[in-house]
Structure 1
Amino acid sequence: MFEEGQLYAPVTADEDGTVTVHLADDHPGAQDQDYRRRREAIAGPALGWQPGDPVPRVEYTDAENEIWATVCRELAPKHERLAIRGFLEGKEALGLPTDHVLQLDEVSAGLGSLSDFRLHPAAGLVPLDVFYGSLADGVFHSTQYLRHGSQPLYTPEPDVIHEVVGHCNLLANPGIAEVKRRAGEAARRCQTPEGLQYVADVFWFTIEFGVMYEHGELRAYGAGLLSSYGEIEEFRGADVRPVDFHQMATLEYDISHYQPILFACDGMSELTDRVGGFFAEFDDETPARLAHDAA
């Protein structure tokens, strides 16, 4: 089990409106004051944004666009070799540029005709109930900042590359988008923190770090793998297990390292039908039932 707050640098606002992004001491940009100021300039409008407002635009710099271009260039051959067909089809349909970062509303316009999803800006961490529940409405909360330029192929936290290259190319596939909607509906039905955490943990081992057998070959569909230059090359060496929702939700693991245990769907139908069906039927009684069945 994990706490999603560990994934994001906390963002706070003082009474005078000053926004601070609290980077960990080992963050690549921790000692770079220009990077810190840039992060805070991007976080401020997102932090104050309300549904119905225009989505804040970020005028990305040449250096930021170069980070995007570098990651897209390096990930492209890995996607062709290691990503599931459904992701590749979504990627082709969405047609993201590879030389510059798109604005969130531009990505939303592309997704609208494919899966009717849209992006809302996030300064950093979004509460679990809001993040997952919003998926039921076709809303995905996305950060807008980029990783530090000293390590363009690494980020210790989700950035706009993870959100857009990883998640939005998945959302361009209607079948996978529907699984995410069902996860959101499951979250909305939860009346207990334990139930919501169960949904979040299964989501982690499927939509974030899921793998799948296609024609006997293990391929990635999790956004965390598809947006990671390093981890996408390592997942075939993990302890790969069949889909087991109770294990997913009760397994102890460390999010700061490559995932040593992954769960593989046997083809797209297991993702859309079985995982999607799990979310569609989930309620607060499900964890106790699955624990009983596993005993």
Structure 2
Amino acid sequence: MFTEAQLYSPVTRTGDGDVTVHLSTEHPGVHDPAYRARRNAIAACALEYTSGAPTPRIAYTEAEEQVWRTVSIELARKHRGLASAEVLAAARRLALPTDHIPQLDEISAALTPLTGFRYVPAAGLVPLREFFGSFADRIFHSTQYIRHHSAPLYTPEPDAIHEIIGHATQLASPRFAAIYEAAGAAVARLRTDAALKFLADVFWFSLEFGVLREHGEIRCYGAGLLSSYGEIDEFRRAELRPLDVFAMGTGVYDITHYQPILFCAESMSEIEDVIGAFFESMDDETPLRARHLPTHANVPVAQ
């Protein structure tokens, strides 16, 4: 079941315009007044944004920049041995800085010539229909806050590191960008919440936590794996299953733990043929039709 809402700290705004990000009691920054005020201010900038306006730029602090430097350098090192060839090629084209946090307009300037995608700010959770639907216009809604400095290699919620190192790296690949766009186009055809959740869960097990086989090794391509210092070391220990859209769309998972079951493609072409084709043809009846398709979800992939 797709539970993305649990990933983001709720954001509220009073009638007077005061913006508050409600961190969980387990959040590393919950007892840091300066961090909480910072999160409120960054969320307020995103809420003030309107389509077509200049993207708000954040004056990141030295502590925030240091978090980015630490994480981006460590993840780049891990990607060299664990990320897929398509991801590595996209990362070279995107050429993210490791010495400072790139602004969203910088990400857009780098992505647009490559795949036509551009970034717009989000205060936190964006409604599923809007978030996925915007892919059809090659728009990605991105948070701008950075995880708490006390735990630079951990975050309980998606932050700019996830949105940029994870998703922007994917979106620098024309092949992945086309799959995102197909998912967005599918949303325009969906009328039921059940079908939208099915699409979101397939996205979770593919574009967020997907792996594939290359030259006899398992490599990752999902943004959730690419941006997680801990989980990228664990995915090869997961139970690997063949791509199965029905199993992916109905899978139950716990977002608070490393994923014990992942779906492994045999190639980048299989991702396009199975996941891309699913998004290209999906409609409200797809979950019902998928239930009757042959399934290999209970057959582990040899590791």
Q: TM-score, normalised by structure 1?
A: 0.99
Q: Distance in 1 between matches of 2:43 and 2:279?
A: 32
Residue in 1 aligned with 2:216?
216
Deviation at 1:111, TM superposition (A): 0.2
1:91-146: per-residue Cα shift (whole Å, max 9, x none)?
10011100100110110000011000000100000000000000011000000000
Deviation at 1:187, TM superposition (A): 1.4
Q: Distance in 2 between matches of 1:178 and 1:5?
A: 25
Alignment map for 1:130-279 (pairs within 5 Å) = 130-279=130-279
Q: Distance in 2 between matches of 1:273 and 1:115?
A: 20
Task: Give secondary structure in 2 for the equivalent of 1:151.
Answer: coil
Task: Give secondary structure in 2 for the equivalent of 1:113.
Answer: helix
Deviation at 1:240, TM superposition (A): 0.5
Q: Distance in 1 between matches of 2:10 and 2:201?
A: 21
Residue in 2 aligned with 1:105?
105
CA contact (8 A) 2:186 2:281 kept: yes
Q: After the TM superposition, which of the residue ranges 16-25 and 1-10 deviates more from structure 2?
A: 1-10
1:28-84: per-residue Cα shift (whole Å, max 9, x none)?
001111000000110001012110111111011111111000001111111000000
CA contact (8 A) 2:246 2:287 kept: yes
Alignment map for 1:32-71 (pairs within 5 Å) = 32-71=32-71
Residue in 1 aligned with 2:23?
23
The residue identity in structure 2 corresponding to 1:227 is: S
Q: Distance in 2 between matches of 1:215 and 1:277?
A: 24
Residue in 1 aligned with 2:300?
none
Instruction: Note the aligned Cα RMSD (angstroms).
Output: 0.9
1:217-240: per-residue Cα shift (whole Å, max 9, x none)?
100000000000000000000010
Residue in 1 aligned with 2:82?
82
The residue identity in structure 2 corresponding to 1:258 is: Y
CA contact (8 A) 1:240 1:262 kept: yes
CA contact (8 A) 2:220 2:226 kept: yes
Residue in 1 aligned with 2:299?
none
The residue identity in structure 1 corresponding to 2:129 is: D
Q: Distance in 2 between matches of 1:8 and 1:36?
A: 14
Q: Distance in 2 between matches of 1:289 and 1:274?
A: 15
Q: Distance in 2 between matches of 1:184 and 1:120?
A: 16
Q: After the TM superposition, which of the residue ranges 152-161 and 273-282 deviates more from structure 2?
A: 273-282
Q: Distance in 2 between matches of 1:186 and 1:224?
A: 22
Q: Distance in 2 between matches of 1:92 and 1:273?
A: 25
The residue identity in structure 2 corresponding to 1:266 is: E
The residue identity in structure 2 corresponding to 1:162 is: H
Task: Give secondary structure in 2 for the equivalent of 1:183.
Answer: helix
1:244-290: per-residue Cα shift (whole Å, max 9, x none)?
01111111111111111000111110112221111000000110011
Q: Distance in 1 between matches of 2:74 and 2:264?
A: 25
CA contact (8 A) 1:212 1:267 kept: yes
Q: Distance in 1 between matches of 2:258 and 2:248?
A: 16
Deviation at 1:293, TM superposition (A): 2.5
Q: Distance in 2 between matches of 1:206 and 1:139?
A: 19
- Please identify runs of 4+ aligned residues in structure 1 that moved more than 4 A: none
Q: TM-score, normalised by structure 2?
A: 0.96
Q: Which blocks of at least 5 consecutive residues in structure 1 are unaligned?
A: none
Q: Distance in 1 between matches of 2:37 and 2:294?
A: 50
CA contact (8 A) 1:239 1:261 kept: yes
The residue identity in structure 2 corresponding to 1:248 is: M
Q: Distance in 2 between matches of 1:3 and 1:48?
A: 26
Deviation at 1:292, TM superposition (A): 2.3
Aligned residues: 295
CA contact (8 A) 2:243 2:274 kept: no
CA contact (8 A) 1:246 1:294 kept: no
